[in-house]
Chains A and B, each alone.
Chain A
Amino acid sequence: MKKILVLLLLAVVGFYTAETFFDIGFGKAPFVKSSEIKPVKDVYLHQTVQELKVANAVTSIVVNFRGFDTLGEVTVLFLSVTALGSILYKKRHHVGERSVLFSASSIVTSGSKLLFPAIVLLGAYVFIHGHLSPGGGFQGGVIIATGFLLMLLAYENYSVSHKGLAIVESLAGITFAGVGLLGFMNGGTFLQNFLATGTLNDLFSGGIIPIIYIAVGFKVAAELTGVIYTVLNEKGEQHG
């Protein structure tokens, strides 16, 4: 009886939610046609090129218009990594060995040695050019972390310095929050751009946007590498 009631309730909520989302569609204009509606996206698209001189509108929204959210998301990632460490703590005490113990074939080991620098380079390219081309700090960071994942899978005794990761992570986070506070002191509001924006499509353009995105790139790379390392290598922090 209780189950049927719950299912019925869920079905009603599900039906109306699904119906609403079928109507809304993806990327369509708002249904409400009124002169009072001035979608913020128009301002974003206009100001991205006009004022911020950034070629990638997604980046300008993520890092500048809604940079505060991004700072929050970076913190969410940071907390998840911290939380993962505290939850896997028990397990690490008993098991001191890598869970993957057999060695990879020489094709895999030499191939990954060859690929690793290229992957890191691509990751760095993606986050350095975050304000010019698709991609950015999060994507670039993930690409670099996959490079480390490859190395960890290929070499059973490959190790990453936990202390080093923690330092990179902290410095990148401090850069983000610190740049925000500098804007607070220079321009008047937190995360406000206080550098010259340069010319559109230049590598050095967009004011503080590239600085923040590079910091995010380092941070994401260090954190995800840390997650992979913690899960894969359960010795983890004991000597870190």
Chain B
Amino acid sequence: MVGTPVLFIAIPLLAAFLIPLTGMVWKESVRIIPGLILAYLLVLAINLLSYVTVNGPIVEVIAGWAPPIGINLVFNAFSGFLVTIMVFMGLLVWLYSYRFKSNVEYEAARKYFLLLMMLVTGSVGIVLTGDIFNMFVFIEITGISGYALTAFYTGRDSAEASFKYLIMGSIASVFLLLAIMIIYSQLGTLNMADVASKMHLMDPKYKAVSFILFVIALGIEAEVFPLNGWAPDAYAEAPGPVGAAFSGIVVKAAVYALIRYTYTIFDLSGAFDLLIIVGLMTLVIAEVAAIRQEKLKRMLAYSSIGQMGLVFVSFGIGTKEGVFAALFIMLNHAIIKPLLFFSGSYLVYHSKKKTISDVDGMGKLAPFTSLLFALGAFSIVGLPPFAGFWSKLSFLMAAADSNMLLIIGLILTVSVVELVYYMRVVNRIFFFKRASHLLARRPTFNAYIVMSVLAVLILVIGFYPDSVSTYLHNAANSLFDKSQYIHSVLTATIQ
């Protein structure tokens, strides 16, 4: 083994405390160090993921107290898969925004890269931890970085969006803490595996109350309807790369948390139906809202919420195929949505209002960016041969296997809506006459690299879906194998 999961937390934290000092000596280091750390973590994640595929889950004990006494981290096929995506996306967002605020003073850059690194660390922590209170701490870390990045050195509107996010996030934290308190008061333990193995002893009423509190709290973070009021504003008003980081990293962590609670910790029978209902509501309302948006980024934000709804429906199917499809959608969404955010924010870069009509005729002015945006749009609506097609197909197959024909019908109808609003934008980009006199903004060199990498990934997954399906299958199996999760955690020793 090349390292252990705790390094995903310890190294970035150490670096976060070091950066103010190195910045006093060498100013450029505040930009470079976070990138180096993220690159190192990506290497670590890939190594550990291949180790886990062969040797089974790694359970890391912290402070020398074996579970359930101490806190532990679990790196298995499921969490490892998500960690790899998150760190990879974190690295891309870092690369994309490397020149961010290079013209203003050093303080802004230091804070931006610090907060970005902690946003990734917090999300990775949520996924890795095996302890319900520790998860709360990481949700706080992610949340505070998120609030700050939303309002980062921009105007009034983003401060308002950030404030909304802050209020909603704080409510989520309170509910989460209440839910944790109920569980601890009943079972006397905070370790996820230990809680899961004793859950049957808990009074059903308390179980239901704490589950509902968990769903409300994590639903706010995972942008589930009707708790997602903060999300469109935060996406639309935050700086471009931050919106991409939210959709590629933070939401994934929140979805993971909710799924971990429904699948592993609670054994409530109605929980899967709840996921389907909540997911469908989120999907339908978000897609209908998206078609009415005038601002490009807001439209992308609603589309992002809609995709999360689809993920929840897919998890709610409750079969291995359903989980496979949900993970596939999450992977694709993590690749495609940042591409749309990156290219989209260049398409409306010089416009004040950032409306969809501002992209008219951009295809001639900025052919490469427009092409990438179109590629992302085609992929996310699920046209073959792009990546999004396979995830939607696997979802429909999973739903068909479980005889959920009504859901299939509804999803296909909603997909048409999705197709309409994306094609409307693509149509405007390529076939409309340029009305405004705004010039196109040339992407920076780094942005070219990042967008090309994402585009290549979309094509690779589109043509060779088998290249990722083994990892997805392993991840789905590991989520389903509850008894193995509990066993591996509770028998963990200090290595």
Contacts and interface: CB of A to CB of B under 8 A. Distances in A.
Interface of A is mostly: helix
Interface stretch (A66-74, A112-120, A124-132): A66-74
A37 B187 contact: yes
B152 A75 contact: no
A178 B201 CA distance: 41
Contact of B64 (A16, A79, A89, A187): A187
Interface string B105-138: 0011001101100100000010000000110011
B269 interface: no
Interface string B66-79: 00111100000000
**Nearest 8 A-B pairs (CB), nearest first?**
A39-B188, A173-B17, A83-B148, A72-B137, A192-B64, A177-B14, A191-B63, A190-B6
A170 B9 CA distance: 17
A39 B134 contact: no
B14 A181 contact: yes
Interface in A69-89: 69, 71-73, 75-76, 78-80, 82-83, 85-87, 89
Contact of B201 (A32, A90, A172, A174): A32
A34 interface: yes
A31 B178 CA distance: 17
A163 B24 contact: yes
A64 B69 CA distance: 11
A134 interface: no
Interface of A: 13, 16-17, 20-21, 24, 28, 30-32, 34, 36-41, 43-44, 47, 64-69, 71-73, 75-76, 78-80, 82-83, 85-87, 89-90, 163, 166-167, 169-174, 176-178, 180-181, 183-184, 187-193, 237
B20 interface: yes
A154 B211 CA distance: 50
16 contacts: A17-B213, A32-B187, A41-B188, A47-B69, A65-B70, A69-B134, A72-B125, A72-B141, A76-B140, A78-B16, A83-B145, A173-B17, A177-B13, A181-B10, A188-B494, A191-B64
B153 interface: yes
A8 B145 CA distance: 34
Contact of B18 (A24, A76, A83, A170): A170
Contact of A189 (B63, B203, B210): B63
A78 B17 contact: yes
A224 B213 CA distance: 32
B464 interface: no
Interface string B19-63: 011001000000000000000000000000000000000001111
A86 B105 CA distance: 12
Given A16-B209, A43-B69, A82 B63 contact: no
Q: Which of B9, B159, B205 has the most CB of A within 10 A?
A: B9
Contact of A191 (B17, B62, B112, B125): B62
Contacts of B10: 177, 180-181, 184, 190
B187 A68 contact: no
B468 interface: no
Interface string B363-381: 0000000000000000000
B41 to A, nearest CB: 15
